[in-house]
């Protein structure tokens, strides 16, 4: 029974995408519990070495038959049935773990969220030097990986910024999702001379001035851009969440 419960726990943990270590420990517990149950049952059913049968003084003996529920075949049949069921459940755990993750409605960004660096320090509009870049998160959500954003400082009044999103740029500060739309890798390199973002995993390149649209590589969708504003204290804030979903299509597109 413990083996079956552990196998069921492993399946549930895989289904909710819990830590792989937890899934592994529950799987190991399944094997361990089954081994203990088999060994304990075998020991309990072992006959003693010195067997004696009393004889009746008058006539042949007629020993009563053993109840069916204590025969070795019945007991081991129950154990093997539970064990095989538990192992069959464990066999589907990898497929459950690799199933498509449930889509999430947006990220932790919302209107008025202050941009903070990984240490939680709020970013002012003039904190970055021209050409500088910083990974930022919504204030209070630095542990939200899907909200990781690249803040870049362009020269003020940079030409060729998408006119439809010109007011998303504040004092040369422009922000894009750090998660590549091809395979979810971090877009970690900013090419200042060409004003491009580069993903080192599969060499996708995105145009910073043209709404983060891909210019080369396997990515086919633009990096989601985060609209920026400045609050009364000079801190950069978000206008809201990303308009477009972050990450690769497989993260959010229905199966």
What is the structure's pLDDT at 255? 46
What is the structure's pLDDT at 149? 96
pLDDT tier at 102, thresholds 50, 70, 90: very low
* Overall average pLDDT of the 176-186 stretch: 94
Q: How far apart are CA 158 and CA 138, in angstroms?
A: 26
Question: Tell me, which fold does domain 115-251 have in CATH?
Answer: Rieske Iron-sulfur Protein (2.102.10)
Domain ranges of the chain: 2-46+71-97, 115-251
What is the structure's pLDDT at 166? 85
Q: How far apart are CA 178 and CA 249, in angstroms?
A: 15
pLDDT tier at 179, thresholds 50, 70, 90: very high
Please report where in the chains the tokens 């081991």 appear, as a residue: 76
pLDDT tier at 2, thresholds 50, 70, 90: low
Sign of CA dihedral 129, 131, 135, 140: positive
Whether residue 110 is predicted with pLDDT greater than 70 in this model: the reply is yes
pTM value surpassing 0.85: no
Q: How far apart are CA 213 and CA 220, in angstroms?
A: 8
User: Could you write out the three-class secondary structure of 5-48?
Assistant: HHHHHHHHHHHCCCCHHHHHHHHHHHHHHHHHHHHHHHHHHCCC
């Amino acid at each position: 029974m413990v083996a079956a419960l552990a196998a069921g726990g492993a399946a549930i943990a895989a289904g909710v995408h819990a830590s792989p270590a937890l899934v592994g420990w529950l799987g190991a517990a399944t094997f361990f519990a089954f081994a203990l149950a088999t060994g304990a049952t075998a020991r309990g059913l072992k006959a003693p070495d010195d067997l004696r049968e009393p004889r009746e003084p008058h006539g042949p003996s007629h020993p009563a038959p053993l109840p069916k529920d204590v025969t070795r075949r019945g007991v081991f049949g129950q154990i093997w049935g539970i064990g095989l069921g538990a192992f069959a459940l464990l066999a589907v755990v990898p497929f459950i773990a690799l199933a498509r993750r449930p889509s999430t409605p947006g990220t932790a960004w919302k209107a008025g969220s202050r941009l903070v660096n990984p240490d939680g320090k709020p970013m002012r509009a003039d904190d970055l030097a021209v050409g500088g870049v910083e990974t930022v998160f919504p204030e209070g959500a630095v542990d939200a990986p899907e909200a990781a954003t690249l803040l870049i400082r362009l020269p003020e009044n940079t030409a060729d910024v998408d006119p439809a999103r010109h007011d998303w740029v504040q004092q040369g500060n422009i922000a894009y999702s750090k998660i590549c739309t091809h395979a979810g890798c971090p877009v970690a390199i900013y090419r200042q001379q060409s004003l491009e973002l580069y993903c080192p995993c599969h060499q996708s390149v995105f145009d910073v001035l043209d709404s983060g649209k891909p210019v080369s590589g396997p990515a086919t969708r633009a990096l989601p851009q985060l609209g920026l504003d400045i609050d009364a204290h000079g801190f950069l804030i978000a206008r809201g969440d990303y308009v477009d979903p972050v990450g690769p299509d497989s993260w959010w597109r229905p199966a």
